[in-house]
Chains A and B, each alone.
Chain A
Amino acid sequence: MSEAIGHPVLDPTTALPFPQAALPVLRNPQLRKNVAHAIDVIQTKRGKVVAEKADWQELRSAAAAIRAHVLENLGTYLEQFEAQCTAAGGHVHWAADAAEARQIIRDILRNENASEVIKIKTMTSAEIQLNPYLEAAGFGVYETDLAEIILQLGNQEPSHIVVPALHINRSQVREIFAKSMERPDLSDDPHALTDVARTYLRRKFLDIPAAISGANFLIAETGGVAIVESEGNGRMCLTLPKTLITLAGIEKVLPRFADLEVMLQVLARSATGERMNPYTSLWSGVTAGDGPQSFHVVLLDNGRSSILGKTKERQTLRCIRCAACMNACPVYRQTGGHAYGSVYPGPIGAILTPQLMQMKHAQSLPYASSLCGACYEVCPVKINIPEILIDLRAQVVDQERHRLSGILNPLSLGMRVAAVLFSRAWLFHAAQRLGRLGARLFTRKDGWIHSLPSVGGKWTQTRDLRGFPPQTFHEWFQNRPARNGMEGK
């Protein structure tokens, strides 16, 4: 990710640290209700369709193996994809970073004399902040996915990678549509809402000569692209315009067409809780007289190759953007997506964003997890997210060790002191006695601590702490009268 041009909330270079960014959401009961409700619906559906696959764990293993193999041979498969896509009549462009990708896309649109462009939902385009850039360059940019239309017309940010408007409920959608489409009479009936969206979209599909898509998968063997979607807007964008530009992260490639058999099964079930998604579009290059006649693929690095070199962290790039991790995450459930300060929220965002930022921004994100492991359990490509979170925390600590702010941070100071205490039992025991004495100052008559200073105050904001007991366990054990025959006591 590179310099900010829009989306200040979801730009990791300018976003607030996670604990602060979470506060407005925690104080917004309607938003939290919307998020929890939407997640519960998806989670229930996912649970059902996963349970009906007796070989789910084998499917996960197969999907993980395919993705791990790709990442170990990424250069080979990308070159194969380029050769095959070019042979099929496509044009492949390589973009080192967001700025380069944006310029490539702008130049293609200019060369094709397109002043407007329609889009299929693509988080990668949000990652490179493509819409504000193209709009500033004078292009009309129109989202066609229902959720993306809601966000675009309501001037809001995505909070989820599969269901980006998950934080907005039906009556809020009505307000956005009623205002932006000048339909004050509009009801919040889902049919009425989709009807106005359909009318709005139909003209765009028919009139606009260029489209931008992301890619769920690139197929090295055929030079093909695969996109899955639920609404059919993608199929329209992929077939009606003259020009089609596909923006894809370099990690999206699969070796063989046959690998889709595994990947599409785990993706649909993990993402939307469906056995199969309603629309699966597959194409290679161009076909004379049918569909777009000018087809471009922009392969985006933007920090990905720096992750590739590290064995453990490399797992991050297996991700197929199903969002099962955020749906399972008890933290995301409370905060929604915006608190993560990135277009990639939830557990995958907490490991992906800091790494895409080369560990220079978003350093609060590896700590935005209780390490409960629910994300790893549901991940269809077995990314050990807790393990990577801990590894990234170690990288943050190592950076902070050399900074005055890091050395003086009370929590870090406490950790370093604790490390010395734990190295010798007599020191630990002395600290326990000292802690017991100190705790007396704060312990009330009921035997509980209701308020503590400094870091401890973060605990006592919402929780009491039982006062220190008069005797530690080891003191009791060493002084207990009988070492055998406790039964009689």
Chain B
Amino acid sequence: MTMQILLPKLGFSVNEANLVEWMVADGTQVAKGDPLYALESEKSVQEIEAPVAGVLKIMKAAGEVYEVGTVIGEIG
């Protein structure tokens, strides 16, 4: 079952954040809890873990700012 990776809201008055880098390559098999990507929002850079196990499909490139809720990838 494919799970969408949504850009989260981390912080108080943020509605967007910078997807700093993907920590695994497109197509990699990840386990739940593996570091997946780094997110920079108002306070700091946070590491976001894989919410489920599966194969990562990257849908948005790193190095860009996206709105909270943007589908940045899928794990299936």
Is the pairing of A and B real? no
